């Protein structure tokens, strides 16, 4: 459809989105494929499952909700470096989101905040 608006000609078009393969997974997280490009946020499949054993001081939580806040946008856009959040390189794989709610393995409701996203 051709459109004339503000003394300029333009058009409205229907563009196809990239086809996404849907895969069911127990452990997923969001991260950038291109640092600094918010449009490159994608879901990644993680290594954990309900049978994953964890140490006695840790608990495996089934996250129902995790927020993305201003700090997450700043790190994702590259305006805040990951090194400003954590010095441990193992924790830098995914630094998006540091507050969550869900249930533990016994079904009890839990919420928490992480030091490093």
What whole-number distance in Å separates Cα of residue 105 and Cα of residue 59? 8
What pLDDT was estimated at residue 103? 94
The pTM (predicted TM-score) of the whole model is 0.62
Pick left, alpha or beta for residue 38 (phi over 0 → left; psi -120 to 50 → alpha; otherwise beta).
alpha
Is 8 inside any structural domain? no
Where residue 25 sits, what CATH number does that domain have?
Answer: 3.90.180.10
Structural domain span for residue 50? 20-113
* pLDDT number for residue 6: 93
Is 32 a domain residue?
yes
- Mean pLDDT, range 16-45, rounded to an integer: 83
């Amino acid at each position: 459809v051709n459109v004339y608006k503000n003394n300029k000609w333009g058009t409205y078009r229907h563009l196809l989105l990239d086809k996404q393969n849907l895969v069911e997974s127990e452990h997923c997280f969001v991260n950038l494929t291109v640092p600094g490009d918010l449009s490159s946020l994608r879901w990644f499949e993680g290594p954990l499952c309900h049978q994953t054993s964890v140490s006695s001081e840790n608990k495996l939580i089934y996250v129902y909700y995790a927020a993305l806040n201003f700090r997450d946008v700043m790190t994702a856009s590259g305006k805040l470096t990951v090194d400003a959040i954590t010095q441990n390189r193992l924790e830098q794989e995914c630094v998006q989101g540091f507050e969550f709610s869900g249930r533990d393995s016994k079904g009890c409701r839990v919420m928490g905040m992480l030091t490093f996203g």
